A and B are shown apart, each in its own frame.
Chain A
Amino acid sequence: MKAQLHDIVMPEVEEPKTKRAKFSRKTKKGWKKIDISQEEAALEQKRFEEIHFGGDLSKTKDEDLFVIDRKPVKKKKELDRTCYHDKILANKSKVAAAVPVENRPESRKSILHNDNMLKRKAKIVDVARTDLSKKLTAEQILEKNKGLNNNYDLWSANTLTEKQKFIPAKHAKHLRGLEGVKAPKHMKFKPKMMEKVEKVSVAHAGASYNPDYDDHQALLLQEHNKEFKKVKSEDSYKEKAKPKNVATEEEMARESMRGLGILPDEDDDDQYETEEESTEPGFVKKPVRAEDRKDKKQRRKEKRVLAAQRAVRRKKQMAILLNQFYSIKKIKKGLREHEKELEKQKEFRKEKQEKRVPRIGVLKADMNPDQDVKLSEELVGTLRQLVPEGNVLTDRLKSFEARTMLEPRKKQKRHKQAFKTKWQQKRTFREWDEQFEKELKKEEKMES
C-alpha cells in the first residue's frame, strides 16, 4: 500500500448515544426517529476503506499496510511534472470499473436462477450425450452443464446413435437415417427467391459514413429517381381520380343566366336545339308493303345468282391453292419466320416469368426498399459526430419478406370505438344545477 495513512483524513465516527429516546414505534412516523447515524457512519467508513485501501483495514496485515523502507534516502527528489488540475482529476479509486449491467435476467423469473427448472432442463438436454448405462443423479447432470445447453458436437458421427437413445421412438422416426416418416424431398429445394436474393445485402457504397463523392451522388440519384417515380405515379392517380366533365365556374354562371335574355347568343342556341330535333334518327322500322314482297320466281333467281357467285369464288380459291404449289419456298420461309416470332414470344414470356416475384400473400413484398441516405449537408467527416440511420429489424423483416420466407403483412390498426361516448347530466342533478344558477343570478341582481 503506497498511500500513506497521514495523507488521508479519516471520517469521524460519532460516539453512540447512550440515552434512548422514548417514542412510539407503531407508525411510520415513529420509525424516522430511530437514529441510524451510527450505521451510516460505519458504512461510510467501510466504503472509505474500500476506496482507499481496497478492503477492510482491520483485516489487512500490518505487513501489507506498511513497508520497511530499506532504500537509502534519495537526495534529489524527481520533479513531478503532472499538472495540478490533472492530479485533482485523476482517478484515485481502487475499486475496479463497474461492470455494465444490461438486461440481466431477473432472478425470480429466469431459468438460470431457478434450481428446479435447471434440473429439469439439464435432464432434457443432457440425456442426449451421456451414457445411459451409467445412471447420473440430477445433481450430477446439473453439475455437468449448468444452465448451458448445446455444448456437444451435433454433427459428429456418434451423436446420432446417442440421439437415437435420447429421442423417443415415435419422435425419432423422421430423423436422419431412421425409418418412418421422411421429410418431403422438396425440403432440400428452397423457394427460388431464397436463392436469388442476398441474405444480407450490403449497403450501397454511397452509404458509407464518409463516402466518396461519386458513390454518394450515385446513391442520391438512385434514390431520387425512385422517389420521383413514386410521386409521379401518385400524381397520375390524383389526375385520374379527378371527376371528369365538371362544369367550370364560367359555365355555371352562363347556365344560371340562361333564359333571361342577357346572353348575346341565346337565340342561336334555340335555333340549334330545334334543328337537332328535326334531324333525330327514326328508330321505327318501315312497314313492308305487299308490292315489295318477292315472289317465288324472284327468289329462285336470287338463289341461282348466289350459287353462281359461290362457284366462281371456289374456283378462284382452288386456282390460288394450285398456284401456291409453285411458291412453296416462299411459304416455307414465311412459316419459319412465324416460328421464330413464336420462339421470341416464348422466350420473352419465360424471362418475364423468371423476373416475376412470387406472390405468397394478399400483399406484395417490397423488393426494392428505400435505402437509407444522408443528404450532402448532413454528412460529417468523423465517426464521432455520425448520426446513424435506419433500423436493422425493419430491414431484416423486409429481407425475409422479399425472400418469401414470410408472407408480407401490414400491422393492423386497432379499431377505435365506433361511437363517441356521450356524456349527459342526470336529470335530477341538472335541475338542481339550473335552480342554483337561477338563485345566483337573483342574488347578483339584488346586489346590483
Chain B
Amino acid sequence: MVYKKHGMKKKYTAGEATAYISRKNARKKLQLSLADFRRLCILKGIYPREPKSRKKAGKGAASNRTYYYTKDIQFLLHEPLIERFRAHKVFLKKLKKAEGRRDWKKADQVRDTRPLYNMDHIVLERYPTFNDALRDMDDALTMIFMFARIPKSSTVHAELVANCRRIAFEWMNYCIHAQCIRKVFVSIKGYYYQVELKGETITWLVAHEFAQEHNEDVDYKVMRTFTEFYTNVASFILYKFYTEDNLKYPPIGQNDYSDDELVKRHQSDLESLTLELRKSKTVELPEDDIDELAAATGDEGLQKAIEQEKSQRAQKNIFKGCKVFISRECPRSPLAFLLRSLGAEVSWDSELYPGATFKLDDDCVTHLVIDRPTAPQKLGRQAVQPQWVFDSVNFGGLMPTNDYVPGAELPPHLSPFVKEGQYVPPDMEILQSKARGEDPGIGKDSDEEVDEESDDDAEDLEDEDEETEETAEPPAKKMAKVAIEEEKPNKPTEFKKREVKAAGRDKKEPKQDVIEAEKNKLARAAQTSKKRKRLLERIEKSERKDKGRIEKLTTKRVNIDAQKKVDVKKSKKAAKSN
C-alpha cells in the first residue's frame, strides 16, 4: 500500500516525467511497429525532442533514450493514416498467404485490393500557406532529384523513381519558364542550383550522372518515406505554379497511361527540356513597359527599384539570341536547363536524345559547347567549354569566349555561394570585370611598363564608368565612388584589388543596408537593455574574428604576389646576365 502523505505527491506524476514519452512507450500507445512509427513521424513532421532532465523524463533512468512530446503522440493517435497502415499489414498477410500457397490467381486478386492512401491533409496541416511549403523545397528537391537517378530495387520501387523523375523535370521546365535561376556551382559532388521564386531562395543539389553508388549504411526505408512525402508536396506546388502562370498542368499531353509508348514519348519530351509549355489561356499578358513607368513617376525610391528591376531583367536574358549546340560528351540536361533558363535556344545530336531543334551544320548556330581538346572550326560559330555557361550564369553576363576555347586551360570555377564578408580570391574580381565586358588590368605581368599601361587602362575605364554612372546612379553614391577613384592611382595595384573585392560575390547591397540599420537599432537599444547590449557585443566579436581572418589571408596573398614579382625579376636578371 502506498500512503499519500499530506502535501506530498507521488513521484513522476507531473512535469517532465509526463511531458515526455519514450519511443518505446509511444509505440505501445499507438500500437505500431517501429518501422511504421518512424514512417508516421516522418510523414507528420514529428521529431524527437531532448528533455531538459533525462533523469526526470526517464522516471529515474538517465540513459540516452529517444523521447517525444507526449502531446505529439496524443495528436498522432487521431491520424487516419494509422488505420491505413494497419490495413496494409492485413493486405500483406493475405498476399503472403496466397503466394505461399502458390495460388497466383488469388494473389493477383489480393494485389488489386492494396489499400491506398493520400496525404493531402498532412501537407495542408504541415504547410498552412504556400510559402511555408516553398521554404521546405530545398530538402524536397534534393531528395527528388536523387531518387530520380537511382536504379529501382526491392526497397526503392520503380513507381517512386518514375514519379520523382516526372516531378524533377516538371520542376526544371517550370524554372525555365519562370527564368528564376540565380546561381550554379559545379562541385565534385554535383551541381548546386539556386533559384528565387516568390521571394524564397531555393537551393538544391543534383548529383553528377552515373555517380551514385548504393550505400549500405543508409536506411532506404527512411529515405523513401521522406521522398514519398516530398513528392506529394512538390506536385501540389507544381500545380499551383503552373496554373498561376496560365500553363496547363500536367505539361505533357493528357496522360493516357494505358499506352506505354505514348507515356515514354511524353516523358522524353519533358526530359529534353526544349518543350514549349502549353498555355491554358490564349490571352497573352502584355509585358509592362518599364520605361514608360519610369518616365511617369518622379519618386526617387521607385526610380531606384525600376533600375534594379531593369538590371535583373537583363540578367535573366543573358543568353538571348544565342543558339547553342551541345556536344555529346557534355552533360546535356544541366547545360540545357541553364541555357534555356537564360534565354538561349539549345540543340544536340538528334541521335543522342529526342527533342533536338536544329542541326550542328546550321548556319544559325552561334555557340558550340564542347569538351574535347579540339573542336571542328566553322565561321560565325564559337566553340566553348561547358564552364563558359556556368560562369556566365554566375557573373550575370556573357564571359569572353577566348578564355574558354576548347583545349585552353580554364580559369578557376569559383563558388557563387561564398557568404558576405568571407575571403574572396583575386580571380573573382578579374572574372567579374570580364563579365561586365571590361578589360581587367589586374593579374597581368607585373613589370613596371605593364603597370603603367594598366594604370592608363584603369583610368580609361574610370572615364567610361563616369559616363555611364551619370544616368544610372544616384548622386550621393557617385560622389563616394569618385572619392575612391581619386585615391586609386596612388595606391599599388594590390590594394586596388582588395577594395573591389570588398564588394563580395553576393551582390546584395540592399540586404547589407538592412543589416546595417538593424545593427544601429541594436546599438541604440543597447543603451537601455543588458540583453541587447550583450547581443551586440557578441555580433561585434564575431565580426572582429572574421575581419582578422580575412586580413590574415589578404596579407598572405600580398606577400605571395610580392614574392612572385621578386622571383620574376630575378629570373629576368638571370636571363639578361646569361
- Complex contact A104–B239 (CB within 8 A): no
Once A393-B223, A404-B48 are accepted as A-B contacts, the answer to whether A359 and B371 lie under 8 Å apart by CB is: no
- Complex contact B124–A176 (CB within 8 A): yes
Once A153-B239, A200-B142 are accepted as A-B contacts, the answer to whether A128 and B49 lie under 8 Å apart by CB is: no
Q: How far is the CB of B485 from chain A (nearest CB, A)?
A: 28
A399, closest chain B residue (CB): B139
B396-424 CB mask vs A (1 if < 8 Å, else 0) is 00000000000001101111011000010
CA distance A187 to B50 in the complex (A): 15
- Complex contact A203–B352 (CB within 8 A): no
CA distance A431 to B111 in the complex (A): 57
Check: A42 CB closer than 8 A to any chain B CB: no
Contacting residues of chain A (92-111) with chain B, CB-CB under 8 angstroms: 96-97, 99-107, 109-111
- Complex contact B50–A358 (CB within 8 A): yes
- Complex contact A104–B158 (CB within 8 A): yes
Query: For A113, what are the chain B residues with a Cβ–Cβ distance below 8 Å?
Result: 257-258
Contacting residues of chain A (103-125) with chain B, CB-CB under 8 angstroms: 103-107, 109-114, 116-118, 120-121, 124-125
Check: B217 CB closer than 8 A to any chain A CB: yes
Binds B, one of A11-19, A61-69, A212-220, A257-265: A212-220
Q: Which among B46, B80, B120, B215 has the greatest number of chain A C-beta atoms within 10 A?
A: B120
- Complex contact A117–B116 (CB within 8 A): yes
CA distance A103 to B149 in the complex (A): 9
Which of A154, A181, A214, A396 contacts B75 (CB under 8 A)? A181
Which of A214, A382, A393, A400 contacts B146 (CB under 8 A)? A393
Which of B142, B158, B188 contacts A209 (CB under 8 A)? B188
Check: B12 CB closer than 8 A to any chain A CB: no
Check: B203 CB closer than 8 A to any chain A CB: yes
Q: How far is the CB of B317 from chain A (nearest CB, A)?
A: 25
Which of B133, B151, B235 contacts A103 (CB under 8 A)? B151
Check: B354 CB closer than 8 A to any chain A CB: yes
Q: How far is the CB of B54 from chain A (nearest CB, A)?
A: 9
- Complex contact A392–B158 (CB within 8 A): no
- Complex contact A175–B71 (CB within 8 A): no
Check: B118 CB closer than 8 A to any chain A CB: yes
CA distance A391 to B474 in the complex (A): 49
CA distance A200 to B205 in the complex (A): 8
Once A190-B47, A388-B189 are accepted as A-B contacts, the answer to whether A153 and B240 lie under 8 Å apart by CB is: yes
Check: B446 CB closer than 8 A to any chain A CB: no
Check: A416 CB closer than 8 A to any chain B CB: no
Check: B455 CB closer than 8 A to any chain A CB: no
- Complex contact B354–A96 (CB within 8 A): yes
B78-113 CB mask vs A (1 if < 8 Å, else 0) is 101000000000000000000000000000000110
Which of A152, A210, A374 contacts B412 (CB under 8 A)? A210
- Complex contact B138–A167 (CB within 8 A): no
Check: B130 CB closer than 8 A to any chain A CB: yes
A-B contacts besides A109-B111, A214-B557, A215-B415, 20 pairs, CB < 8 Å? A97-B353, A101-B264, A113-B258, A150-B239, A167-B80, A191-B49, A200-B139, A200-B205, A203-B188, A211-B413, A213-B412, A359-B64, A372-B188, A383-B385, A383-B386, A388-B207, A391-B218, A395-B189, A397-B217, A404-B50
